[in-house]
Chain A
Amino acid sequence: MTVGPVPFMALAAILFAIGLFGALSKKSAVMVLMSLELMTNAVNLNLVAVSRFVTPESMAGQFTAAFVMVVAAAEIGLGLALVLALYRKRRTVELDHIDELKG
């Protein structure tokens, strides 16, 4: 029994939706960042899967996924640094308490 590209894409789509739900609904900044990681993982999975089944020779999807990982690592590092800075300033990481743009 073998698997084609479609189950991988479906899996990635569901993982992405789960991550999106978390990113949109969570009130803790750390939780939002974790949900964002779920979303990038879903994207990477999709890239690698399509690369494996459609253009296995060029591996373009694998390279893109590698660069997505780089950007995601930078993003989580910066994001968590921001959370720390925010916590030092406001003593909270709850996003619904952080509303300084409020008019």
Chain B
Amino acid sequence: MPEQVALVPFLILAIATLGGGVMVVLSRNVVHAAFWLLEVMMAVAGLFMLLSAGFLALVQVMVYAGAVSVLVLFTVMLTLRRREDAIRSLDLSWSAAGIALAVLVAAAAAIASFTPTLPAAPVVTPGVEAFGRALFTSWALPFEISSVILLVALVGAVWWAGGGEK
């Protein structure tokens, strides 16, 4: 576990994240956008590693990079009849851009107002073992509830996606 967050890896991963995010939004091809999304997920997983959250990084790779991206790709393929359908207009909208920019400014203002209250970066960080212990003791109830949520979502997804044949 790194005790401090080093600048250089952070910069590399930040550029990868933001660049990928921009490419997701600016890709004309839906399939390309899905792959750029995969790239963002991997970069965020790297950032999690940098933040000493090893377990989350692992989950990020498995859930997002593994499952979600594949799911998105499958959906894209199932809903496109021809190869050319993947290419589409960029759909840029000024009002959407304005709102996103306003949210960004608000967030920046919030960060600026928080900054003085933040403590210096601590050196000690608990590892995966401590995470696991806490997950099954003090966080056990939310953990179980989340498994029920997943089950319900699973049943719902199967119902919606497959229920149309009747």
Contacts and interface: CB of A to CB of B under 8 A. Distances in A.
B6 A3 contact: yes
Interface in B13-66: 14, 17-18, 21-22, 24-25, 30, 33-34, 37, 40-41, 44, 47-48, 51-53, 55-56, 59-60, 63-64
B88 interface: yes
B100 A13 contact: no
Q: Could you tell me the dominant secondary structure of chain B's interface residues?
A: helix
Interface string B118-129: 111110111000
B72 A30 contact: yes
A11 B18 contact: yes
A1 interface: yes
Contacts of B34: 34
B124 to A, nearest CB: 7
Given A13-B108, A15-B18, A62 B96 contact: no
Interface in B134-166: 134-135, 139, 142, 146, 149-150, 152-154, 156-161, 163-164
B51 A18 contact: no
Contact of B96 (A24, A70, A71): A24
Interface string A63-103: 10111011111111110111111011100010000000000
Contact of A30 (B76, B96, B101): B76
Interface residues of A, number: 71
Given A49-B51, A71-B146, A93-B79, A4 B121 contact: yes
Q: Could you tell me the dominant secondary structure of chain A's interface residues?
A: helix
A3 B7 contact: yes
A38 B161 contact: no
22 contacts: A13-B111, A14-B21, A14-B104, A17-B101, A24-B100, A27-B89, A28-B30, A38-B40, A41-B40, A45-B44, A45-B47, A56-B124, A58-B134, A59-B126, A59-B130, A63-B134, A66-B135, A70-B146, A74-B149, A78-B153, A81-B156, A81-B161
Interface of A: 1-11, 13-22, 24-28, 30-31, 33-35, 37-38, 41, 44-45, 48-49, 51-54, 56-59, 62-63, 65-67, 69-78, 80-85, 87-89, 93
